[in-house]
Chains A and B, each alone.
Chain A
Amino acid sequence: MNLNELNGKVTITVAGEEVEVNASDSVKETVKRILQEKGIDSFTILVDGAEITSTSDLPETFAEHEIEVKRYVKAG
């Protein structure tokens, strides 16, 4: 556990940038807000290094999870 976690904060990675969030916050709502702010609409989410394949793979909060959001290049 690092100092941030002791403060109730964790760092997630969004499109290569580190973003600090509250560990107890909802992953779904927080990530949604950050992506809207950054204008990212095509993306993939990794939880503890593995890409989610279903919304049920998404944890409730950030606590004890490593979350990364990668921007996705669209085909077509």
Chain B
Amino acid sequence: MIDTKLITRAKQSSKEIETIDSSWRGYVENLRETIFTIPFKGNYSALIEENALLIEGYSGLLLIDRLYHNKKTYLLKTPVKHSPFRIYGLYDSRGRFECFMARPEIGFHYLGLHNQGHAICTGDIQYSNPDSLSILKEISSKIIDSFRLINMESLGTVLLPNEYSELRSILANKEEDPKTKVEKLLNKNLIEEIL
């Protein structure tokens, strides 16, 4: 940026310096708006989607094979599987953590729509701010583990591919309570009680 002393000393008639200064200010402002602050260093994969930076915390198999309702755990007769499934930490352009997201979005524990899609509901998982790659990976590992269980007591937005349409139509039905849904799943032989 042009030194302010230079501007003070410059003759009023010298519009050239003011123009250059204005141009620099605009350039710096533009940089501030478009440049991402990297929240932490490390050997990781990342995506940039609009104004957000998504840093990969997990890449591998998604397995959903159990369901919890009314103090009982059930096994899915046909588990939901998808690979590769990725969990990301979403950071704003200033490097501040906002939420966890998944690509593709498959599962039962998502919150409402965020700018970049559905945020993951982390439920009972305790975690500190993911301000390092190791913490991000540790939390992502807990999330993928907890995703295995469909928690009927806090079922979020249900996002399932068409191949699981039967399971999806029962679980995504907002008109029915969890008890009715579980009964339907049992009647259709889609789940069995673990014990």
Q: A41-B68, A44-B66, A53-B65 are in contact. Are A75 and B73 (CB under 8 A)?
A: no
| C-alpha gap A76/B108 in the complex (Å) | 8
Does more than half of chain A's interface fall in helix, strand or loop, or is it mixed? loop
Interface residue ranges of A5-56 to B (CB < 8 Å): 28, 31-32, 35, 41-45, 52-55
Taking a contact as CB atoms under 8 Å apart, the answer to whether B79 and A76 are in contact is no
B108 and chain A: residue at smallest CB distance: A76
Partner of B146, one of A45, A52, A55, A73: A73
Interface majority SS (helix, strand, loop, mixed), chain B: mixed
A55 in contact with B108 given A74-B68, A75-B122, A76-B151 (CB within 8 Å)? no
Residues of B within 8 A of A28 (CB): 195
Do A74 and B65 touch across chains, with their CB atoms under 8 A apart?
Answer: no
B66 touches A41 (CB 8 A): no
Question: Are A73 and B153 in contact, with the CB atoms below 8 A?
Answer: no
Contact with A along B133-150 (1 / 0, CB 8 A): 000000000110111110
B118: min CB distance to chain A, Å? 13
Q: How extensive is the interface on chain A, given as a class?
A: 10 to 19
B123 touches A76 (CB 8 A): yes
> Taking CB as reference atom, which chain A residue is nearest B193?
A55
> Does A41 contact B71, Cβ atoms closer than 8 Å?
yes
Known: A55-B193, A76-B154. A43 touches B65 (CB 8 A): no
Chain B residues with Cβ below 8 Å from A42 are: 68, 73, 149
- Give chain A residues whose Cβ lies under 8 Å from the Cβ of B143: 75
Judging by beta carbons under 8 Å apart, are A43 and B73 in contact?
yes
Q: What distance in Å separates the Cβ of B74 from its nearest Cβ neighbour in chain A?
A: 10
Is there contact, CB below 8 Å, between B193 and A76? Answer: no
- B155 sits at the interface (CB 8 A): yes
Query: Are A72 and B73 closer than 8 Å at their CB atoms?
Result: yes
Q: Does B124 count as interface, using CB distance less than 8 angstroms?
A: yes
> Is B194's CB under 8 angstroms from A55's CB?
yes
**Distance A13 CA – B88 CA, assembled complex (angstroms):** 34
CA distance A52 to B143 in the complex (A): 20
- Decide: A75 and B109 in contact? CB cutoff 8 A: yes
Q: Could you tell me if B75 and A75 are in contact, using CB atoms closer than 8 angstroms?
A: no
Q: Are B147 and A75 in contact (CB under 8 A)?
A: yes
Interface residues of A (CB under 8 A from B): 28, 31-32, 35, 41-45, 52-55, 58, 72-76
Given pairs A41-B73, A75-B108, 9 additional interface contacts (CB within 8 A): A41-B68, A55-B195, A72-B146, A72-B149, A73-B124, A75-B125, A75-B143, A75-B151, A76-B108
